[in-house]
Amino acid sequence: MKKELLQTVKGMRDFNFDDMVLRERMISVITANFRSFGYLPIETPTLEKYDLLMDKYGEEADKLIYNFTDRGGRRLGMIYDLTVPLSRYVAQNYNSIKFPFKRYQIQRVYRCENTQRGRFREFYQCDIDYLGSDSADIEGEILSATAKILRELGLGEFEAEINFRDRLNAFLSEKGIPDGQSALFLRAIDKLDKTSEEDVCRYLKENGFQSDAGKLIRALKEEYEPPAVFSEIRNYYKALGGSSEELKFNPLLARGLSYYTGPVFEFKLKGADMGTVAGGGRYDGLVEALIDKKVPACGIALGFERLFEILKTVGGTSDNIEYFIANLGNRAIELELLRMLTEKKRRVFYYPDRSVKLGAQLRYASEMKTVYALLVGDEEASSDSVAVKDLKKKEQKVKTLKVFREELK
């Protein structure tokens, strides 16, 4: 077999046991918190019509959409995010959906972009979206739910930054910046958390921006104030356990995607060189563009892969196997142990080969990061008992099956 066939496609990865234990735990925490705020799950296809996806994200992002023509001559695209497919879903099912409509979605999305730490071509997004209301409470709730997840995952201190794209656009208009130039300016300042102000100004000049970018950035810092709705959002956030120090106004926050129409927000972890770990905002025009119905909408996407990379470095994994049943030939009791453990939904592994020596079986159990090994030798079998060996503490206790079963409750 050619060596190149053994390599994964660029930007896509395999995950081992430890990875998947951590990822499943993360998804469990995320899902539980989404549900606790009343969001319910939906799922949409990986492929959408290419024309649906195009011209929704902005010129630079549109170039990153994987697209192809199928055997029937249809132009298709792989989903870039979950927001545009959600808008299509809501438009398609508008007459049967009860508004306000709250949903969460956890799926893989695809972007043909340069790979780097925490940025891949196939990755999970974990979204919540709230459609059918323009209340500022929506932003407060979405920010609160996200903060709760970051705290429960044990990611340390974080900041949530917020700005207002509608007010930002109005400010630029007052400064005489036309719409096309405004879009270019917003895409550029979205890079300020990754590059210097000088580089942003140089990029704008090279791409035909006709105003003094540096002067405009200074004006945003000095003259542009948050609207009154910022206080409403912050008060809601504080009422649900957040602090004023966590939620801050950032006059230069723009978010790169072109479909945002109101508040936009991003979460960053303090002390972690990973950029934004969650981001979103209000996009009141996406559904209306499809069916000419006004449907206010707001949502956020968690950067699952970035959070995963951070948790890997701080020891976020847990034991793969809780109980390892050695195969010593006393099959009736060993199978009884397997039955009672699986009924209790415990993580258990029953070694398949009697011919393998006990020492080799226990080495395998240790390598699998097992907590307890269960040994049923002839002596234990004669007394209807099991030896429970703690593989971390190197301690062993013999218990009757009755006691062992009672302790599982």
* pLDDT for res 100: 96
* pLDDT for res 377: 95
For residues 394 and 362, the answer to whether their CB atoms sit within 8 Å is no
Distance of CA 93 to the CA centre of its chain: 26
| Per-residue confidence band for 319, with pLDDT thresholds at 50, 70 and 90 | low
Tell me: pLDDT of 131 over 70: yes
Tell me: pLDDT of 21 over 90: no
Tracing tokens 């044990």 back to the chain, one arrives at: 154
| Per-residue confidence band for 316, with pLDDT thresholds at 50, 70 and 90 | very low
pLDDT digits (tens, 9 = 90+) for 252-265: 998 878 889 999 99
pLDDT digits (tens, 9 = 90+) for 188-239: 888 887 788 888 888 888 888 888 888 888 888 888 889 999 999 999 999 9
Starting at the earlier edge strand, list the strands of the sheet with 75-78: 47-49, 75-78, 67-69
323-407: what fold?
A: Rossmann fold (3.40.50)
285 phi, psi to nearest 5 deg: -105, -5
- Is the Cα torsion angle 177, 181, 187, 188 positive or negative in sign? negative
> Rounded to whole angstroms, how far apart are CA atoms 183 and 180?
5
Coil, helix or strand for 95?
coil
Domain boundaries, the chain: 3-313, 323-407
* pLDDT for res 315: 60
295 phi, psi to nearest 5 deg: -130, 95
Coil, helix or strand for 320?
coil
> Rounded to whole angstroms, how far apart are CA atoms 252 and 392?
51
Starting at the earlier edge strand, list the strands of the sheet with 122-131: 40-41, 101-110, 122-131, 297-303, 276-282, 263-269, 158-164, 247-249
Checking DSSP bridges between strand 372-375 and strand 323-325, what pairing results, if any? parallel
Q: Across residues 271-277, what is the average pLDDT?
A: 81
> Rounded to whole angstroms, how far apart are CA atoms 252 and 312?
31
Q: Which residue has the higher pLDDT, 26 or 55?
A: 26
Coil, helix or strand for 52?
helix
What H or E segment, with its residue span, contains residue 126? strand 122-131
CB neighbour burial string for 281-309, b if at least 16 within 10 angstroms, e if fewer: bbbbbbbeebeeeebbbbbbbbbbbbbbb
Question: Domain spanning 3-313 has what CATH number?
Answer: 3.30.930.10
Q: Across residues 355-384, what is the average pLDDT?
A: 94
> Rounded to whole angstroms, how far apart are CA atoms 362 and 353?
13
What H or E segment, with its residue span, contains residue 132? none
Checking DSSP bridges between strand 75-78 and strand 67-69, what pairing results, if any? antiparallel
pLDDT digits (tens, 9 = 90+) for 64-107: 999 999 999 999 999 999 999 999 999 999 999 999 999 999 99
Tell me: pLDDT of 46 over 90: yes
* pLDDT for res 397: 95
Question: What is the residue-averaged pLDDT of the chain?
Answer: 91
* pLDDT for res 83: 95
Q: Across residues 95-122, what is the average pLDDT?
A: 91
Which DSSP state fits 8?
P
**10-24, 38-52, 136-150, 196-210 — which is least confidently predicted?**
196-210
* Residues facing residue 317 across a β-bridge: none
* pLDDT for res 2: 78
Tracing tokens 């226990």 back to the chain, one arrives at: 362
> Rounded to whole angstroms, how far apart are CA atoms 374 and 287?
57
| Per-residue confidence band for 369, with pLDDT thresholds at 50, 70 and 90 | confident
Starting at the earlier edge strand, list the strands of the sheet with 372-375: 348-350, 323-325, 372-375, 385-390, 395-400
Q: Which residue has the higher pLDDT, 312 or 299?
A: 299
Q: Token pair of 71, please? A: 């055997």
Query: Does the N-terminal peptide bond of residue 178 adopt cis geometry, omega within 30 degrees of 0?
Result: no
* pLDDT for res 1: 58
